[in-house]
Amino acid sequence: MAAFQERWFVISKTVLLIIVLAPLVGGLVAGLFRRQVGRAGAAAAAIIGVALSCVLSFWVFYQLAWGGAPVFNQNVYTWVEVGSFGMHIGFLIDRLTAMMMVVVSFVSLMVHIYTIGYMADDDGYQRFFSYIALFTFSMLLLCMANNFLQLFIGWELVGLASYLLIGFWFKRPSAVFANLKAFLVNRVGDWGFVLGIAGVLYWFGSLDYAQVFAATLDPVNAARTVEIIPGHPWSVTTVICVCLFIGAMGKSAQVPLHVWLPDSMEGPTPISALIHAATMVTAGIFMVARTSPLFELSEMALSFVLVIGATTALFTGLIGIVQNDIKRVVAYSTLSQLGYMTVALGVSAYAGGVYHLMTHAFFKALLFLGAGSVIIAMHHDQDMRRMGGLAKYMPITAITMWLGSLALVAAPGFSGFFSKDLIIEAVGESSRWGSGYAYFCVMAGVFVTSLYSFRLLYMTFHGKERFVVEPARGGAHHDHEPGHLEHPPRESPWVITVPLVLLAIPSVLIGWSTVQPMLFGGWFGGSIRVAPANDVLKVLGQEFHGPLAFTLHGFTQLTFWIALAGFAVATWIWLLNPGLATKAKKTLRPIYAMLVNKYWVDDLYRVLFMQGGVGFGRGLWKRGDVGVIDGAVNGSSWIVARTAAVVRWVQSGYLYHYAFAMIVGLILLLGGLWWTVARIAA
Amino acid sequence: MQFPHLLSLLIWLPIAGSIVVLALRSRPEVARWVSLAFALATFLASLQLWTGYDRSGPLLQFVESQPWIAALNANYALGVDGISVALIVLTTLAHLLVVISSWGQIKDRVALYMASMLAMEGVLVGVFATTDALLFYVFFEAMLIPMFLIIGAWGGPRRIYATLKFFIYTFFGSIFMLIALIYLHLKTGEFSLAAFAAAPLDATEQAWLFFAFVAGFAIKVPMWPVHTWLPDAHVEAPTGGSVILAAIMLKVGGYGFIRFSLPIVPDASHEFAWVIIASSLIAIIYIGYVALVQEDMKKLVAYSSVAHMAFVTLGIFIALALVRTHGNPLGARLGVQGAMVQMISHGFVSGAMFACIGVMYDRLHTRMIKDYGGLSQPMPWFAMFFVLFSFANCGLPGTSGFVAEFMVILAAFQDSPLIALLAAFTLVIGAAYTLWLVKRIVFGPVTSERVAGMQDLNPREWIVLAVFAIGVLAIGFYPKPLTDLMEPAVQNLVQQLALSKF
């Protein structure tokens, strides 16, 4: 029995390898053999791969959470070895990782199933499955890493998957612009990230998490400084953490590297749900939580994280209020929620950030997939100004989206309530530099979230129908005029609604059973390290008396009333008084212009980096290369001209003449050399 | 059981092949098959180096030595370490692929073209295999001849300008190298590299020798600001010429730094490392911006080669400061290994990029980016390969391009975070110029009727690109066999660097 238990409750490397590789195999089959396996075969291959991964992830999660399995930390193979610098591929599976694996594989599986319906009419069906399975592989590789090398490999491969998927409809110029933009902005973040990794290797002598985190306990390492600019000693952990966090700002779309995420909505909707809401964009949050032993050493880096997160949380949410594209509203909401997670990291409430990551993954995937369901019903029109009153046509979508939105606005009792309210309270408890500003931002953000969420629901599902139903004229499928449908919108098929329902369940309920252990019960154990002085969650935990008490308490809190105010304003403007919005737009024109133009950040970047970069390059090329260098080469050497004259004479057109001349030249050269040297030697 | 004169075989088999093929001038089809047979045989023989090189044995293996010019004490001396083995196998593989891919590209004077290619193969193997400086010099110069012929005879409209520029540039540099070698010979009475490395040299001598070597090798690499011959040469060269130029010939420069500059003049190399490092950093950033605005695909990839080769020189010369100033030989090994992996990786990636451009050129006879657009629709297989190699070109993990850049950046950080900061800018600018190219060529709507009519890869092209792809991915996912092969040589080199010559 003991032997059986030992085997049963120890995580096996084989299982982990299957978890990672199954989606890769599925993706390769779907991609490379797309002709042989056909549409159904490709879908099956990818879904089986991801389903296998998902089931085994749940199994590993169970082993860790209830089976008492020890943390798994082993290398699979050595990637490069230079002396004692070993770089490996390996897995570190603890509760933090296991939670990520479950979230990633579960949401991914839902999205795979949803894709069957959503992409049914698309020519690139197999290609799509191969990309999303490839993404799942990369994301799991990232989460399961036991070292910075593999983290970075996964980090970049998810970037690749995101690039391929944003540009999935590669005939659209806007899509291939957006994917290039996304990759390049992410690369700016990775510029910092790779330097952070280099710093880790240099100052801690290893890329292995376990070794690095053990070294952080040594006070010598914590106190070490470096003078990159002479005369300014900086703490090495601050340098490392700020660099690593710049990477996270790229991937998790924090201000000022947030500009790529709204444009990424050019990709098909399942992708927006999977990559650009639930999983990939949370990689930065996960990374910071994973490296919490490093971040805990640097108060300055955490303040940096806090201020960036708070700014993102409020200011990107504001843009969401003026968007009319349903997906873009949800996209800006994602940016804002990522800001909340980052704020949590910034006040050392890593568990809170990761917890919000989890709840957000469910309800935001739900909102995106719901938006996708609406988009299908509207024949791929995404403009909410041409929707309205859809609730009666598609009740399942409407109800699940309401549930998802209630979770998003942190209605007491919903999953988002537990995670978001605790972040806000944690910020209130914190005395870190920047926490006052952050507290204002996250509080104001509650109102903003409520405003754009209910605006979306009203404009989409309620009020007057702003589309026209016209039966098709003349049979053939023609391009639709926006807002004109051939038949009334209808509820989506089961492959779409079932994932919605399955995601709605955790969106509503998951907080009840998880909040106590994950945030206050030390569930994450050694995966996350918080210095006792910074442990705001512990303070909150003393006042926490179970989810029910917390929910009831929630109704008396300021945040609840702020959210309710947002709900009231949204209801007033977008449900009861249509036309008020237009009036408000006119009175508040400067603010409206600022929000619609996204604070002109994109325009600034376009001028500065795109046009500036091309102009700079052209200057260097024409002036530097062609002007100065070649000018010197061509101009100064009249010999070249003379030689050319000779060559023109020799240029008889016969190859062997050239060859002969060359060989003669070489012989003369070598002969001359020999002669000279022999003379000197003699 | 090893063939006793394997290195000689690898040098002379292709050269013999070139003579045989030359005799088949009237029968191009036969000439092709015979060339293929020779290239394949050479490649298979070179695999014996890879399998037969004993990683725990002595540094130099497969050693051969015959007196050559007795009066000068110059020997026909061959011998390889892991660095040379890797480069030789890359050379034979690249030539095999070039022979296969030129099948449909070269219609005119086939036998001469193939003969030049085979001759070049032998000469390039010779460059990497010899341990005698004079023999090295002969091979070093001799490789210009077939390349001169290939560009001059099968090149584009401005081929005369390009060949002259190419020839004079490189010849100019190598003259200085020759003077340095003569000086060293007078000093030691020998031409063996080991004797040169052991010769005591004072600071002034080393400084002169250092810059003489730089003149020879920097132009080959090519380093900023002596790089301007490369874009012109590439633009005019036929595809096969470009592939060999990018994949192999540029490596001779980096190889020269490792074989000559570092062991022979370590103190001067240390003293003047900043010059090389500065030039490398300028190349990474300046050339990155220049690549961004190119309108000709070949020029773009040529400039990108200059930026990538800068990682080779950076990795090599960072090692000196690490060993001598920081007492960090481990970091130095990381840097040199990174430089070496970059040489091999760039061989695959740039070779593949030029092969891809060749595929497009064969169909549309233009290299201008604006003439293409939306290729993923008529040519899905091609698009897949092109996107893969492009990502390798911008250093995506999982491809060989990442391994080297990552190692060099890590090593550079140990010398100075600022150097690493500037070098890591390649992550942004490299992605910008490469993926912008991809966007304009592969994605978007099909821009013209001619593009719409382009045929996807034929089996021969498919095989060539697939072999490149396997190399790129194999090194990307599992670089250890490659670094293990080179590790003894790198370790030995770094030990040498620590010792001052005065």
| Interface contact A576, partner B, CB < 8 A | no
**Which of A338, A341, A418, A333 has the alpha carbon at shortest distance from A371?**
A333
Q: Cis before residue B263, ω within 30 degrees of 0?
A: no
pLDDT for residue A90 is more than 90: yes
For chain B, how far is it from start to end, CA to CA, in angstroms?
44
pLDDT for residue A626 is more than 60: yes
pLDDT for residue A674 is more than 80: no
What is the percentage of chain A residues whose pLDDT exceeds 70?
A: 90
| Interface contact A640, partner B, CB < 8 A | yes
Whole-number pLDDT of residue B1 = 44
Residue range A390-416: mean pLDDT, rounded: 91
Instruction: Judge: A673–B228 Cβ closer than 8 Å, yes or no.
Output: no
Whole-number pLDDT of residue A27 = 92
**Which of A49, A45, A69 has the alpha carbon at shortest distance from A59?**
A69
Determine the Cα–Cα distance for residues B300 and B323; give it in Å rounded to an integer.
36
Report the residue from A177, A187, A620 with minimal CB separation from B286: A620
**Coil, helix or strand at residue A203:** helix
| Interface contact A21, partner B, CB < 8 A | no
Write the DSSP symbol of residue B77: E
Whole-number pLDDT of residue A148 = 94
Name beta bridge partners: A89: A77
Q: Cis before residue A256, ω within 30 degrees of 0?
A: yes
pLDDT for residue A93 is more than 50: yes
Say if CB B296 and CB B367 are below 8 A apart: yes
**Residue B46 CB contacts under 8 Å (≥ 6 apart), including other chains:** B10, B88, B89, B91, B92, B93, B125
Q: How confident is the model at residue B308 (pLDDT cuts 50, 70, 90)?
A: very high
Query: Chain B residues with CB inside 8 Å of A195's CB?
Result: 409, 413, 417, 420-421, 424
Whole-number pLDDT of residue A374 = 92
DSSP string of A519-533, one letter each residue: IIS-TTGGGS---GG
Residue range A153-178: mean pLDDT, rounded: 91
pLDDT for residue A636 is more than 60: no
Determine the Cα–Cα distance for residues B278 and B273; give it in Å rounded to an integer.
8
How many CB pairs below 8 A link A and B?
Answer: 190
Query: A107-165, pLDDT tens digit by residue?
Result: 899 889 888 888 888 888 889 999 999 999 999 999 999 999 999 999 999 999 999 99
DSSP string of A85-147, one letter each residue: EEEEEEEEESHHHHHHHHHHHHHHHHHHHHHHHHTTT-TTHHHHHHHHHHHHHHHHHHHHBSB
Q: How many CB atoms lie within 10 A of CB A389?
A: 15
**Which of B76, B40, B51, B100 has the alpha carbon at shortest distance from B243?**
B100
Say if CB B73 and CB B191 are below 8 A apart: yes
Report the residue from A85, A659, A680 with minimal CB separation from B149: A659
Residue range A470-499: mean pLDDT, rounded: 73
Mean pLDDT of chain A: 86
| Interface contact B410, partner A, CB < 8 A | yes
**Residue B419 CB contacts under 8 Å (≥ 6 apart), including other chains:** B277, B281, B314, B318, B412, B413
Please state whether A224 falls in left (phi above 0), alpha (psi between -120 and 50) or beta.
beta
Report the residue from A170, A195, A658 with minimal CB separation from B417: A195
Q: CA of B39 to nearest chain A CA: how many angstroms apart?
A: 22
Query: A294-348, pLDDT tens digit by residue?
Result: 999 988 999 999 999 999 999 999 999 889 899 999 999 999 999 999 999 999 9
Instruction: Judge: A621–B225 Cβ closer than 8 Å, yes or no.
Output: no
pTM of the shown model = 0.91
Q: How confident is the model at residue A672 (pLDDT cuts 50, 70, 90)?
A: low
pLDDT for residue A187 is more than 60: yes
Q: How many CB atoms lie within 10 A of CB A452?
A: 26
**Which of A205, A53, A658, A481 has the alpha carbon at shortest distance from B147?**
A658
CB < 8 Å from B in window 85-114 of A: 85
Instruction: Judge: A226–B417 Cβ closer than 8 Å, yes or no.
Output: yes
| Interface contact B436, partner A, CB < 8 A | yes
Residue where the block lists tokens 């001619």: B450
Q: CA of A599 to nearest chain B CA: how many angstroms apart?
A: 24
Query: A504-526, pLDDT tens digit by residue?
Result: 999 998 888 888 888 887 788 78
Residue where the block lists tokens 């009020």: A463
pLDDT for residue B453 is more than 90: no
Query: Chain A residues with CB inside 8 Å of B285's CB?
Result: none
Determine the Cα–Cα distance for residues A226 and B414; give it in Å rounded to an integer.
12
Whole-number pLDDT of residue A21 = 95
Determine the Cα–Cα distance for residues A62 and A340; give it in Å rounded to an integer.
29
| Interface contact B176, partner A, CB < 8 A | no
**Which of B425, B434, B442, B443 has the alpha carbon at shortest distance from B291?**
B434
**Which of A20, A249, A265, A47 has the alpha carbon at shortest distance from A165?**
A265
Whole-number pLDDT of residue A287 = 95
Whole-number pLDDT of residue B399 = 93
**Which of A108, A104, A382 has the alpha carbon at shortest distance from A271?**
A108
Q: CA of B305 to nearest chain A CA: how many angstroms apart?
A: 15
Q: Look at the alpha carbons of A330, A332, A337, A341 in this order and tell me if their dihedral is positive or negative.
A: positive
DSSP string of A405-474, one letter each residue: HHHHTT-TTSHHHHHHHHHHHHHHH--STTHHHHHHHHHHHHHHHHHHHHHHHHHHHSSS--SEE-PPSS
**Which of B46, B45, B41, B48 has the alpha carbon at shortest distance from B20?**
B41
Please state whether A474 falls in left (phi above 0), alpha (psi between -120 and 50) or beta.
left
Instruction: Judge: B483–A659 Cβ closer than 8 Å, yes or no.
Output: no
Residue range A377-394: mean pLDDT, rounded: 87
Q: CA nearest A193 in B: which residue?
A: B424
Report the residue from B164, B376, B435 with minimal CB separation from A180: B435
Phi first, then psi: what are they for B190, rounded to 5°? -130, 175
CA B230 from centre of chain:
13
| Interface contact B71, partner A, CB < 8 A | yes
Residue range A30-56: mean pLDDT, rounded: 91
Name beta bridge partners: A541: none
Q: What is the Cβ-side half-sphere exposure of residue A410, based on CA atoms within 13 angstroms? A: 32
| Interface contact A184, partner B, CB < 8 A | yes
Q: Cis before residue B222, ω within 30 degrees of 0?
A: yes
Report the residue from B160, B417, B442 with minimal CB separation from A647: B160
Query: B117-135, pLDDT tens digit by residue?
Result: 999 999 999 999 999 999 9
pLDDT for residue A657 is more than 90: no
Mutate to test the interface with B, among A621, A640, A642 (most CBs of B within 10 A): A621
Q: CA nearest B429 in A: which residue?
A: A184
Residue range B43-55: mean pLDDT, rounded: 91
Q: How many CB atoms lie within 10 A of CB A393?
A: 16
Determine the Cα–Cα distance for residues A182 and B208; give it in Å rounded to an integer.
49
pLDDT for residue B189 is more than 50: yes
Name beta bridge partners: B130: B78
Structure tokens at B396: 């995506």
| Confidence check on the interface: ipTM exceeds 0.85, yes or no | yes
Q: How many CB atoms lie within 10 A of CB A553?
A: 15
Amino acid identity for residue B365 in this structure: H
What is the percentage of chain A residues whose pLDDT exceeds 90?
A: 43
Nearest 5°: CA angle at A17, between A13 and A19? 115
Determine the Cα–Cα distance for residues B27 and B21; give it in Å rounded to an integer.
9
Report the residue from B425, B444, B480 with minimal CB separation from A81: B480
Instruction: Judge: B164–A198 Cβ closer than 8 Å, yes or no.
Output: no
Report the residue from B71, B425, B444 with minimal CB separation from A191: B425
pLDDT for residue A639 is more than 80: no
pLDDT for residue A640 is more than 80: no
Determine the Cα–Cα distance for residues B484 and A83; give it in Å rounded to an integer.
10
Residue range B365-375: mean pLDDT, rounded: 90
Query: B256-294, pLDDT tens digit by residue?
Result: 999 999 999 999 999 999 999 999 999 999 999 999 999
Whole-number pLDDT of residue A371 = 92
**Coil, helix or strand at residue A388:** coil
Cα R_g (chain B), whole angstroms: 21
Mean pLDDT of chain B: 90
HEC secondary structure over B286-306: HHHHHHHCCCEHHHHHHHHHH
**Residue A84 CB contacts under 8 Å (≥ 6 apart), including other chains:** A205, B330
Which of A264-268, A385-389, A574-578, B309-313 is most confident? B309-313
Residue range A39-66: mean pLDDT, rounded: 91
Determine the Cα–Cα distance for residues A128 and A113; give it in Å rounded to an integer.
12
**Residue A320 CB contacts under 8 Å (≥ 6 apart), including other chains:** A328, A329, A332, A333, A336, A448, A452
Say if CB A164 and CB A180 are below 8 A apart: no
Cα distances (angstroms) measured from residue A389 to each of A326, A398, A458, B92, B323: 15, 10, 8, 69, 73
Helix, strand, coil shares, percent, chain A, to 5: 75, 5, 20
Mutate to test the interface with B, among A32, A81, A82 (most CBs of B within 10 A): A82
**Any alpha helices (H) in B237-328, and if so which ranges?**
239-244, 250-256, 262-264, 266-271, 273-282, 288-292, 297-324
| Interface contact A644, partner B, CB < 8 A | yes
Question: Which comes out higher in pLDDT, residue B158 or B17?
Answer: B17
pLDDT for residue A95 is more than 60: yes
Q: How confident is the model at residue B148 (pLDDT cuts 50, 70, 90)?
A: confident
Query: Chain A residues with CB inside 8 Å of B169's CB?
Result: 633
pLDDT for residue B175 is more than 80: yes
**Which of B306, B314, B320 has the alpha carbon at shortest distance from B340?**
B314
| Interface contact B165, partner A, CB < 8 A | yes
